Amino acid sequence: MAKTTKRMAKSHANIDSRKLHTLSEAVKLIKERASAKFDETVEISMNLGVDPKYPDQQVRGVCSLPNGTGRTARVAVFAKGPKAEEAKAAGADIVGADDLFETVNGGKIDFDRLIATPDMMALVGRLGKVLGPRGLMPNPKVGTVTMDVKKAVADAKGGAVEFRVEKAGIVHAGVGKASFSEEQILQNVKAFVDAVAKAKPTGAKGTFVKKVALSTTMGPGVRVDPAAAVAAAAN
């Protein structure tokens, strides 16, 4: 416990919780302070000027990180016939229909991303209570309900990150690993910020991106100037 406290104290040292940094500064700070014995995930949190209880203030989308997430996602696909074979050939970890339904309905969820062909959604929809709370329900808006299962599987395996605003108006995601270079992390963060900024809903009024913070799994949160972050990500 003493070692953990000492390590955490060191990682949090000289971090001014009130100061707003540029994206480059924030990336440098969190990478320098990643000291766990495992490869920590780089995480981003964005507070948005929306109230998700209103339909026209929902924020949802997908972002393809240029340098991937640093981990290989396990992908499941609901499909039959030729589309099932296409999914398997594309590298899907689990492919099925009624059999996969029974597995998931029984509470066994051994995947990170779920894709379905449109004809399977009547079946998949019955799993709403299981998949919904975990953010795994396929949706055409983020490309997980599609006939092009080959592309969907490739995107999921290649570093596509899905995002969805939570009740408090917050979007967060893992956007890389501490072992990535500063430039790789920065590129991923910019891509994510830009994707969220472009997903601004019609009902959002005033400032859309209100707060941005970066951290690693065990490291301190570093605040980022939100306006500067959005501007940097757009370039």
pLDDT of residue 14: 62
Q: Is the pLDDT of residue 10 over 70?
A: no
Q: What is the DSSP string of 107-139?
A: T----SEEEE-GGGHHHHGGGHHHHGGGT----
Structure tokens at 117: 């062909």
pLDDT of residue 141: 87
What is the tens place of the pLDDT at every residue in 23-74?
A: 999 999 999 999 899 999 999 999 999 999 999 999 999 998 999 999 888 9
What is the tens place of the pLDDT at every residue in 178-210?
A: 999 999 999 999 999 999 999 999 999 999 999
pLDDT of residue 16: 74
Q: Residue 160's closest CA among 231, 98, 75?
A: 75
- Mean predicted confidence (pLDDT) in 143-166: 92
Spatial separation of the C-alpha atoms in residues 186 and 189, rounded to whole Å: 5
pLDDT of residue 37: 92
What is the tens place of the pLDDT at every residue in 68-105?
A: 999 888 999 999 999 999 999 999 999 999 999 999 99
What is the tens place of the pLDDT at every residue in 100-113?
A: 999 999 999 999 99
CA distances from 75 to 9, 134, 140 (A): 38, 15, 16
Q: Is the pLDDT of residue 13 over 80?
A: no
